[in-house]
């Protein structure tokens, strides 16, 4: 498979999973956490899927399309592993969805992230919420969800909290 094919498949899987989340969160209240703004593509998609929910975006350095930058109240700047720590107090009822697209080509960094992120996120999620990740995560209180039809295994990971 060419790198172009691989890129397209990754983006399609991401979009298919996010689209699926809109229906899968019916009846689950709470804001959305976008971890890693990047170019702002998935943030833009999330706000089209969830126009009535607050979306809080965590990013260390903004480099997004100008139309896809959240207002100051919804942009939490800094390293996620520092900023998430204090943020739980701002969400007493928990978030309905967390989307983490912060994996890198560095296997060791991804491994560390996969250990630390669930510990930080778990207390911030409402029961019945969803965690999406480009890397496999593990937490005792989370159940892996089957991927939407057509999404190849290991392209994306979904957990019900
Ligand atoms: C792959 S990009 C996200 C792309 C985004 N989903 C999109 O559709 O445009 C990953 C982003 O996560 C951010 N990031 C990675 N690790 C981070 C960390 N520990 N703290 C804050 N931001 C981080 C990077 O700066 C980068 O902008």
CATH number (domain holding residue 125): 3.40.50.150
pTM here?
A: 0.96
Residue among 11, 37, 132 whose CB has most ligand 1 atoms within 8 A, to mutate: 37
Q: d(Cα 31, Cα 88) in Å, to the nearest integer?
A: 12
For ligand 1, whether the C-beta of 118 sits within 6 Å is: no
Atom of ligand 1 nearest to the CA of 45: 8
User: For the segment 60-92, what is each residue's pLDDT rounded down to a tens digit?
Assistant: 999 999 999 999 999 999 999 999 998 989 998
**Rg of the chain taking only CA atoms, in angstroms:** 15
Ligand 1: distance of its center to the CA of 106 in Å?
Answer: 14
- Which tens digit of pLDDT belongs to each residue from 112-124? 999 999 999 999 9
Domain range holding 156? Answer: 3-160
- Does any ligand 1 atom lie closer than 6 A to the CB of residue 79? yes
What's the structural domain count of the chain?
Answer: 1
């Amino acid at each position: 498979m060419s790198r172009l094919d691989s890129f397209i498949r990754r983006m399609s899987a991401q979009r298919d999973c996010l689209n699926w989340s809109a229906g899968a969160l019916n009846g689950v209240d709470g804001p959305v956490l976008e971890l890693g703004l990047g170019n702002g593509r998935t943030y833009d998609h999330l706000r089209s899927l969830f126009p009535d929910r607050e979306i809080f975006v965590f990013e260390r350095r903004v480099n997004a399309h100008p139309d896809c930058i959240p207002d100051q109240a919804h942009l939490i700047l800094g390293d996620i592993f520092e900023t998430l720590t204090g943020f739980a107090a701002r969400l007493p009822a928990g978030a309905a969805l967390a989307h983490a697209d912060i994996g890198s080509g560095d296997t060791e960094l991804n491994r560390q992230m996969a250990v630390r992120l669930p510990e930080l996120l778990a207390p911030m999620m409402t029961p019945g919420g969803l965690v999406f990740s480009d890397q496999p995560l593990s937490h005792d209180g989370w159940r892996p969800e089957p991927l939407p039809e057509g999404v190849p295994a290991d392209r994306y990971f979904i957990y019900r909290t």
